[in-house]
Chain A
C-alpha cells in the first residue's frame, strides 16, 4: 500500500483540488482526480524524502482558529488604519524564539504570522532558532511575543509532533 500510495494525504488533496478546478462532481472528473492523486505523488516522491507527520486531529482546528483570527485581526487593523494617527502608532520589531524544529512547521508558523493582519514575518535567523517579525502596533512587544507563541506555536507543536 505504501508503495502505491506513498502519501495518502497528498493524494486526497490532489483529487479534491482537481474536482474544484473542474468545478463539477461528475464521474469523469472524479476519475481523473483519482488518477492524478495516485500518479503525482508517485512521480514527486523523490522530492520529499523525509515528510513530516501531520496530525489532522489538531491541524483542522488550527486552520479554523487561524481563519477566525484573520477575520478579527482584519477589523482591528482596519480600525488602526482609519482612526489612529501615525504618531500614536507603535510599530515594533519582534524577535520570536522558535521551539518548532522542522522546516514545514516553521514555514506554517511564519505564514500564519504574515496572514494575520498586524504582523508580518520578515526573516528567520541563520541558525533556525529565531523569527524576525514586524508588528504594526505592539505597545508591549513581550506580551505580543508571548501571545503569538502561546496561541499558534503551542498548537503547531501538536500538529507537527
Chain B
C-alpha cells in the first residue's frame, strides 16, 4: 500500500530536481562553451525548462500537498518568456558592436564575424531602421 501523500511528494521533488538539473547544465554551458555568442545559449535553457520544471513543482506542491489553488507561477514563467529573448538580444547587440569596433576584449565566435546584411543597408544595430519598413521606429 503506497499512500497518496508519498506519491505527491515524489512527483513534486521529481519536477524540482529535473528543473534544477537543467539549470545546472545551462550554467555549466555558460562556463565551458568557447565564446560569448555560444555562452548565450546556456541561459536560454536555464530560463525555459529549468525554471519551468521548478515552477511546475511549486504548483504541484501547493495544489497537492497544501490544497491551495496557486497559479501565480504561470505569471512568473510568462514574464520570463517575454523578457529572456530581450536580454539575450541586448547582449548579442553589444557583441556585434564589439566585433565591428575590433574591441580587444571581444573574441569573435568560432562561427566567424557576423555576415553582412544581404539587403539594402546594414543590420539595425549599426544603422537606424529605414522608414516605411516593418522595423521602422518612428512614423514621420
Contacts and interface: CB of A to CB of B under 8 A. Distances in A.
Given A93-B114, A102-B134, A127 B92 contact: no
Interface in A61-85: 70-71, 74, 77-78, 81-82
Contacts of A126: 117, 119-124, 126-130, 133, 135
A77 B41 contact: yes
A130 B118 contact: yes
**Interface range, A side:** 35 or more
A55 interface: no
Interface string B56-72: 00000000000001111
Interface of B: 22, 25-26, 28-29, 32-34, 37-38, 40-42, 44-45, 48-49, 69-72, 74-75, 81-82, 84-85, 88-89, 92-93, 95-96, 109-112, 114-115, 117-130, 133-136
Interface string A82-113: 10001001011101010011110110001100
A110 B86 CA distance: 10
A134 B128 CA distance: 21
Given A102-B134, A128-B130, A115 B84 contact: yes
Contacts of A41: none
| Interface hub of A111, A122, A126 (most chain B Cβ within 10 A) | A126
Given A23-B69, A122-B96, A134-B37, A93 B48 contact: no
Given A23-B72, A120-B40, A120-B88, A132 B117 contact: yes
A89 B96 contact: no
Contacts of A71: 49
